A = this chain, B = another copy of it.
Amino acid sequence: MDTHVTTDMPAPKKLPVPRNGVDTPKLFATIAAVADQPSLAAFKFRAQGKWMGGTHCRSTVAGFYGVGGEMKHAMPFTAESDHPKVLCGEDQGPTPVEHLLHALAGCLTAGIANIAAARGVTLESVSCMVEGDMDLRGILGLSQEVRNGFQAIRVTFKVKGDAPAEMLQKIIDQSRARSAVFDILTKGVPVSIALEA
């Protein structure tokens, strides 16, 4: 915002206020702090997986590196994954690929709440359905032409807030443009796997 303009420009934006459960002033202050000191932006996120028998795995998410040092979540979180009974699992949790869909829902939804707050839009409700198509001949080793992973993912949002549909659409677009999970799922990441002696 160019504060030197003194002609009859639109009034400057209102100062950001907390909205949608988002502490908007703190969010802007955080962005400014990272802009001043980019080393704060280097994060390492971690999950520690433990085999529980069969196809059941439990991960613990407790610490991460960021803002220049080791951090801890408010509490250690655990997440379960398993295969369903039709795929010979014991169905002790969502499948691993369903966790990817949850991650996408969570990332886009958090972005929508943050961006709406930054733009002065008060949200009433946000929900989404995320669906991914998979042909199991890939992971079962029955076809070389079929990929192992999802062939496509579709997300459908319902958003209610004090803004017209086209502004809500722009908020969704901006959330996608800044989403870590959308970026990872659509563009891929190098993954290395090692066996420790």
Q: Which residues of A contact B (CB under 8 A)?
A: 20-23, 26-27, 30-31, 34-35, 38, 40-51, 53-57, 59, 61, 64, 66-67, 71, 73-74, 77, 79-91, 93-110, 112-114, 123, 125-143, 146-159, 165, 168-169, 172, 176, 178-197
Give Cα A192 to B150, complex, Å: 13
Instruction: Give every chain B residue within 8 A of A43 (Cβ-Cβ).
Output: 133-136
A189 touches B151 (CB 8 A): yes
Assembly CA distance A168 to B41 (angstroms): 37
User: 6 tightest A-B contacts by CB?
Assistant: A49-B105, A81-B106, A21-B54, A149-B184, A51-B126, A149-B183
User: How far apart sit A67 and B83, CA to CA, in the bound complex (Å)?
Assistant: 14
Q: Is the CB of B48 within 8 A of A110?
A: no
A169 to chain B, nearest CB (A): 5
Cβ 8 A contact of A172, one of B98, B109, B195: B195
